Structure 1
Amino acid sequence: MRVRTRPERVATLSVPPKPSRSWLNWVLGGVLAGFLVGLVLRGDGDFNPLVDGWLGLSAMWAPVVVCWWAVYRTRFRAVEVPLVAAAVTCFAAGNSYFVLAARGGQVLPVPSLADIGFLGFYPLMLAALAVPAIRQLRHLGWPVLLDGAVGSLGAGAVLAVLLRPVLTAAVSGELSLATVVATAYPMFDLLLVAGFVGIGAAQGRNVGRRWSVLVLGLVAFAATDVFYALLQLNGQYVVGTPVDAGWAVGLALVAFWLDGTSRSATGRVLSVWSIPTQTVPTIATAAALGVLILGSQVAVSTLAVTLAAATLTLAAAPLVFRHRIRLADMHLQARTDELTGLPNRRALYSEIPKRLAVDPRRRSALFLLDLDKFKEVNDSLGHDIGDLLLIQVSQRLGGKLASSDFLARLGGDEFAILLYGSSAERAVTVAETLRSALSEPFVLDGVTVQVGASIGISLYPDQGDALGALLRKADMAMYRAKALRSGHHVYRDTDNTDGDERMRTLAELREGLENDQFVVHYQPKIDLDTNDVRGVEALVRWNHPLRGLVYPDDFIPLVEQAGLMKTLTGIVLEKALDQTKVWHAQGRPLTVAVNISASSLIDLELPDRILGLLTDRGLSPSVLMLEITEDFLMADRDRARAILVRLRAMGTRIAVDDFGSGYSSLSYLRDLPIDELKLDKSFIMSMSGNARATALVASTIDLAHSLGLRMVAEGVESGGDYAYLASRGCDVAQGLYVSGPVAAEELDRWLASRSSLLLPAGHD
């Protein structure tokens, strides 16, 4: 069965084993453990070069290396990753300057270069926390935002109580740069704690499991800052005490978190960790009440009282405005896609007409974006992986659009985008940008998924001034993009006719599958050593009642798009094996080769179905040769190995079709269970008068034999090519010089009349 024209490089899946902990993390853990042990064993005394110097500096710089490796892994796709790496680097640099000064007995002034590094940590880390939070703001309801604000203020109130001695000492002196720097440390600590508590509360059930690692790291860091400030205030801090370990532990935990986050491909989407939604607001409210009660008994700072009062005020807001907030939240939920947080179809129909009505003469573009072969992801890897993919796709799309653009998920793997105030040229540019962004691999729970997208574009107002008309034309353009495999397509008037024709053809295809309109033709394969016919290749044809015999190039793309390939593959396998059984009963032990598409190969039930078909007909698995394309092998090496090993283990043989036609590495020939290579016909047809092409064919034959593989030459159309291939040791020839694909009855007549001593010049 010839089931492909040129496969798309989309929806490629691989299932590698879970990645082990990075060796850099083991090094970081070892350095940190060594530093902690050294601090415990060193005892009191002056600066220790080993513990305070080498181990201390290593414990600071090891997290820097891990963080920047995470930046390299994510290729700057998530801006928060380099921000965290820069924050950790700043602190490590400041600490290095401080330690080197302490080694020489120097007392640093305030401020110094060390303070620049230390203080640089806080705004960079706060920015890293804020980026994903801001990205989600438009998708969060008022109750969620209030929870985050209450958590932030409550945490700030508690920390303000703890930092009161430091704040008092910092502001009691004359206003100077040193005073500002001294005040900046506790204030930044307050902001840092308030920030990650508030963001955690706002994320609610969307907080990832790894978030706890980041929280522990920042808590350790801030707690060490507070403890250090209190010791420094009383003149009790000395270098080389266990207090120094707090910063190292905090930075190490931040690095561990960043490394784990970067392994999720974008650094943004983490696995869901269920947190009761009222946990943080309840704790924050109780803490604020505690601060106010404490303030009635002892002196606390005005800042602490103010933050506690603000916490209680915001916590009470839902009680005062409960009805209004509940209605607003229900309205938002009704217009929001639950999985991705994007606007849904209802929001699309409500929002876009309003935007277009602002200036009816302003040009805009409407996109319909559909992921190619998303069904294969769900079917083969499960809906959980499919959901994670949709979440990350929505984030990548949102990251490439302007703030004035509108992105919505319509359902399934279909997204709509309005480019407000866009020309056709900008629409095409944005479509190319979005497809490029989606071409980068996704890593979802240890599974690498690479998808493509088809985008249909309709233009406002030229192609319609109503949303319904624009959606309909964008839909037709999207299917046109799929048919052309162009990735994107701007609607044209001719697409309407093409769309109608596509729908008619699709209906006829379904009818043809149900009414047994598909037939199989067979092309013989000649053993060049014995000149005998050892096998045939099965090639599908559609015997259309009106159009006659339709060839695969005219219907296979539509079969793929409609998800009918599994059905068609089953029909061809059954017909081919039925005919093989007949030939074997007639004393003709022919093998049959059947092309299997990539979409069929990811079907985990395929090996069992094939074995059942062979068993029912009493055929040995060795009579069946499955031909697959090297594009599938290259894109899905691990998955291909798992599936091909199962097929090969039951005795079915494997051939690589169109070998050499793609851009590939040959390493898969070493790793995968392959029996035969079919050299693409373009190499054979170009041999005549081309010394380089001839040498390339000869070298490929030698390569196959050196690996223990049989070589089949496709597209043999002349006696000269046939003779040369035989002289070079090629195993099998197939092409018009031998015979074209014919029905089984005609092949029987050809075999019966064929002389075993003289090869015919061709077949009509």
Structure 2
Amino acid sequence: MLMLTENQGNAEMIKPVEQHILCVDDDLDFLKSLEFFLPEQINKETMSNLWYRFLFVDNPKEALGILQEFRTTSETVAMVISDQKMPQMKGTEFLKEVGKISPDSIRVLLTGYAGLESAITAINNHLLDKYLTKPIEDERDFTLSIQHLLQKFQMQKTIAEQNRIIHNLYGFANVLNSIEDFQKTLDYIISFTMDTLKCERISIMLLEGDILKIVAAKGIPEVVIRKTTISIGNRVAGEVILSRKAILAKSLNDIPYLDGTVRSEARSFISIPILYAGLASAEQPLGVINVTNKIDNIQFTETDLETLTYISNTASIAIHNHLNHLKLEKAYSESKAQASALAYQMTHDALTNLPNRTMFLDHLTVTLIDERYKNNTLSLLIVDLNSFNEINDTLGHHNGDILLQVIGERLKGMFEQPNMVARLGGDEFAILIPDSKTNDLPHIVLKIIETIEQPILLEGISLEVSASIGISLYPDHGEDPNLLIQRADVALLIAKKEKEVSKVYDQNLDPYNPRRLTILSELRHAIDNNQLILHFQPKVCLKTNSISGVETLVRWLHPQYGLIPPDQFIQLAEQTGLIKSITMWVLNDALLQCSMWHRSGTALKVAVNLSARNLQDPELPDYISGLLKKWCVHPDFLKLEITESTVMTNHKLSSEVLLRLSNLGIRHSIDDFGTGHSSLAYIKNLPVSEIKIDKSFIMNMITSKNDIHIVQAAIELGHHLGLNVVAEGVENKETFDLLAQLGCDEAQGYFISRPVAAPELIKWLNESEWGLKVSQKPAS
């Protein structure tokens, strides 16, 4: 038997979206009681654009048939409510079958207290989403429970729709770039947009002089397409192209220049300009995209506008390129071959046949848009041949050209789409690598250098050419294509200056970076002006699950730039010799804070980082010894962290300083273990008690088996050497638990706590599950 409720609301201009709720119980009286209050209460509290149609069925097998029909017609079933005790089929068995037919539907079981155990078992087995007790004692509480579950259903639908859109957007740019025919490009934009936004009508209008004409459309009569021409500034499309701003219309009465025909047929629409940015400072308007009426009578939202903005920005490049191509064809219509050759010349280097700077910039612009929406990284490498001018001068320009052709062909053979190799000019080549990982760069650089250095025979002479490489990364070093090229050039200059094979851009080494110049000039005054502050990041013992100490991190509270992290000024301090003053200040304030904690009853061990210059300072041990006495801190409460590369700099002097510090009772830790020069012969003979595994291995443990093996090997190595092992960069519970299973001793990272000032650390100690177990006491 089937009973149903109909939408009894007032007729609206925008009809609500209808979804079904199926109620199944062999007790007709109970079904009637539900029908009496539930539909009205649920729909009264529901959004105006949504209506739930209730169906009441007394036979679960009949209900399964109804669900099969809905599945065939693609109608949405938001929820199925079922009694547990029914003669034809148990409620849990029925809801299990519901999950097969309509897996997205919320499944609710009604049961008495005697049936709670089976209901809980069904939830644990994912056969249902919730159980509610029967009989219903409070209709309002019952209704609220149903409303909360329906809100969950709508949220899941929204997330699924967003994921569908993101999935569609991923490959949009690549498909556009692969279509050679202009009309097919426009048709693809039309079909892609309709499918993504689920709209009823769409048109693309392009500028011809001062007039907009429809060049592609769907859902619009052919006669309207032929007759529609709009001047700039007139009607919606003309206003959009004039203002270069999109219009999202939810209330059509607010648009005074909307013509009567469109007003009578439209419920909501978006009109957005197609603007080509290119390399010029000003955007070039190409046309307008208009979309009208979402299906299911839903209005367009700001999210739809953001999606259409991406589509428009990506389409603008393809449309611009096609329009340029059409202009060339028109200008040289007498010879298609001549036009094609000219287009090729405009985008390719005549000597090497590689893409030129213009084409490379266009490709970089398109790729950046795609990588931004994919949330990917991108690497830009500029390769410069060393001593090329000498070869040119010695063997002549003809042989220099041959050399460039050979190198260009070799580089081109190394990379396939979507990578790109281009010649920027002279002896400079550019390589674009989308979706690249920083960890892959050393291998890529090595392959490039090995490829270039293969001998080349010129004038009977076998030459081995070397090269330098500058690297910039998106998004770390910028989002603008010209800026990324500029910063790769800066990195190249630094690589040549420092006689290194390659260099990744570092703003602290960029002589053209205004911020760097300001920081450099003001750094020496930071200590005198009390602008340095300390933050502390807790470390947790994985065996006791309690805090084991803190790492001290210095910050510069700059009056103009705010809080500057150490990676932006410590290297400058090294270069200018200010690192000694900064380190002494950090040591003094860290031990002072340690002493204050001890006096207040909180015994915390502190760790301080040392640089290469610090370890070459023979006065450092005496200075630290004086501070320990001054602040009455036992040496066991101070740990000094050093990197592998720091120790390798003047190893003899560094070892002597470390040994003197160790004789004071101070412990040492090797920081960033696994990323430096990892000489086990050195490490085993150094007075160190701890290694800290670098975060680059820790952060990808959950997804990378290689990183798990590396971390496990480092832990076992450390323990074999009798060293404490700490993991840096722990950002989630899964990593935290896995490290504990692998036998790691301590963990540090944002999952536990970000670096915080001393007052915030005390608050963390009082509130954190790890901070409550502080029990360290000063050694006697």
- Shorter-normalised TM range: 0.3 to 0.5
Normalised by the length of structure 1, the TM-score is 0.35
Normalised by the length of structure 2, the TM-score is 0.35
Structure showing greater relative contact order (alpha-carbon pairs closer than 8 Å, 6 or more residues apart): 1
Kindly indicate which of the two structures has a greater share of residues assigned to strand. 2
Kindly indicate which of the two structures has a greater share of residues assigned to helix. 1
